[in-house]
Chain A
C-alpha cells in the first residue's frame, strides 16, 4: 500500500485543475442521482443498494480527486460511523416494530396500528423506509472501506 501511495505521489496525479473543477461540478449531480435512485426504486430500476453505492462513490470521487482531508471535511468520520449504524438500525428497527405492534416480523401492513392509513399503502411505504436504511448503510460502509484500504488504516493520506 505504501508503495502504491509513493508511486501515485511521484506521478503527481490529482494536482490538476481540470480534475478538481470537473469533480466539483460532477459530485452534486452524482449525489442527486443517487437520491433519485433510492427514492424512485419503486417505479424504475434501482433501490437502496444501487443508490447507496452512487452516494458513496461521489464521496470516493472527492477523496480521489482532492485528498482524504477534503473528504473528511465534507463527510466526517464520526458522522460516517453514525449513519452506517443508523442505516442498519432503520431496517432492523422497522422489522422489529412491525412485530411489536402486533404483526409478523417485517409485515409492514401491521404498522397501521401506528398511523391509520391503508395497509397496502403501508407496505408501499415500508419498502421505501427500508430502502432508505439500506442506502445509508451501504453509502457509509463503501466510503469507510475506501478510507481504510487506501490509507492503510491510519487515515492520513489516500492514493
Chain B
C-alpha cells in the first residue's frame, strides 16, 4: 500500500513538474496574465479608489464578491467544527 502511494505521489509530481515548463517566463509583460486586466488595475486603481495598495483594492473592491465568499467559507468551516466537536456543558 505504501509503495502504491509513493508511486502515485511521484507520478503526480512528475506530471506537475512537466506542466511547469509551459508557464510564462517570470515577469514577462506579454504573458496572458499581464495583458488582460492587470494593466487596467495598475493605471486606474489610485484614480478610482484612492487606495495606494493595488492588492487591497483588487481584493476588497474590484473582486469584493470573491472575498465575501472567502469570509463565508471560513465562517462555515468554523460553524462546522463547532457543530461536530463542541459538547454542551450541561
Chain A residues packing against B (C-beta within 8 Å): 41-49, 84, 87-88, 91-92, 95, 105-106, 108, 120-121, 123-124, 126-127, 130-131, 133-134, 137-138, 140-141, 144-145, 148-149, 152-155
> Which bracket fits the contact residues of B?
20 to 34
- Expressed in whole angstroms, the Cα–Cα distance for A127 and B64 within the complex equals 9
- Expressed in whole angstroms, the Cα–Cα distance for A43 and B84 within the complex equals 40
Any chain A CB within 8 A of the CB of B81? yes
Let me know if A127 and B57 touch, CB within 8 A.
Answer: yes
> Can you name 17 A-B pairs with beta carbons within 8 Å?
A46-B56, A47-B55, A47-B60, A123-B49, A123-B51, A124-B49, A127-B56, A130-B60, A130-B67, A130-B68, A137-B74, A138-B74, A140-B78, A141-B74, A141-B78, A148-B81, A152-B85
Let me know if A155 and B68 touch, CB within 8 A.
Answer: no
Contact partners of B82 in chain A: CB under 8 A: 144, 148
Chain B residues packing against A (C-beta within 8 Å): 48-53, 55-57, 59-61, 64-65, 67-68, 70-72, 74-75, 77-78, 81-82, 84-87, 89
Let me know if B61 and A108 touch, CB within 8 A.
Answer: yes
Contact partners of B81 in chain A: CB under 8 A: 144-145, 148-149
State how many angstroms separate the Cβ of A147 from the closest Cβ of chain B: 8
Let me know if A87 and B71 touch, CB within 8 A.
Answer: yes
Of all A-B residue pairs in the complex, the 7 with the closest CB atoms, nearest first, are: A153-B85, A141-B78, A127-B60, A106-B64, A148-B85, A123-B49, A124-B50
- Expressed in whole angstroms, the Cα–Cα distance for A84 and B72 within the complex equals 11
- Expressed in whole angstroms, the Cα–Cα distance for A133 and B53 within the complex equals 19
Let me know if A127 and B61 touch, CB within 8 A.
Answer: yes
Let me know if A145 and B78 touch, CB within 8 A.
Answer: yes
Let me know if B68 and A45 touch, CB within 8 A.
Answer: no
Let me know if B57 and A106 touch, CB within 8 A.
Answer: no
Contact partners of B78 in chain A: CB under 8 A: 84, 140-141, 144-145
Let me know if A84 and B75 touch, CB within 8 A.
Answer: yes
Let me know if B49 and A127 touch, CB within 8 A.
Answer: yes
Contact partners of B68 in chain A: CB under 8 A: 91-92, 95, 106, 130
Let me know if A126 and B61 touch, CB within 8 A.
Answer: yes
Can you name 19 extra interface pairs (CB under 8 A) apart from A108-B61, A138-B71, A144-B78? A45-B53, A45-B55, A47-B56, A49-B70, A87-B75, A88-B71, A95-B68, A120-B50, A121-B50, A123-B61, A126-B61, A130-B60, A130-B64, A131-B56, A134-B67, A137-B74, A148-B85, A149-B81, A155-B86
